[in-house]
Amino acid sequence: MWQEILDTLNSPQTVEYGAYQRNATPDTPIWRRPTRGKRFKSLFAALFAKDGARSECLGRARYARNRYSQNQKLAMPYVAAWVRGSNYALLVRQSTPDPEVTVVESSSVDRIDSQTEEELTIFLSALFGRGAEEFGVRLLESNKIVSLP
């Protein structure tokens, strides 16, 4: 599965994206799904662009912080990205110095109903655990996905 995903990272495709935001402004959904057109032009861009998953999980994504943060410290514990129509998504988890990533079913992150922060944290943590058990965990370094040592 990993090789299949890695082989298509740079292919131009419509990418879906979801981000779990904490410390967001009131009335902002805690699972934010950009829905206007193509936000990212490839899975690689969704993961590594300046406002992509890696930057969001490290607290460096300026767009999200400026638009949605209550106090300039917007926490993004989980971010998901997947090619529209694919059965699988990459679920990225906040970690230092590099975020961790695993593979999950895209249907699990495509439609997440409103939940409390506690419920969403439990759901995404369990989902990441299942993905890690089935597909393993890798790291999102500055511009590549690498296997754990």
Region 107-117 average pLDDT:
86
CA 79 from centroid of its chain's CA atoms: 2
Taking residue 96's Cβ as centre, other Cβ atoms within 10 Å add up to 8
pTM of the model: 0.91
Over residues 41-69, the pLDDT tens digits come to 899 999 999 989 999 898 887 776 666 66
Q: Where are the domains of the chain?
A: 2-147
- Could you tell me which residues are beta bridge partners of residue 140? 145
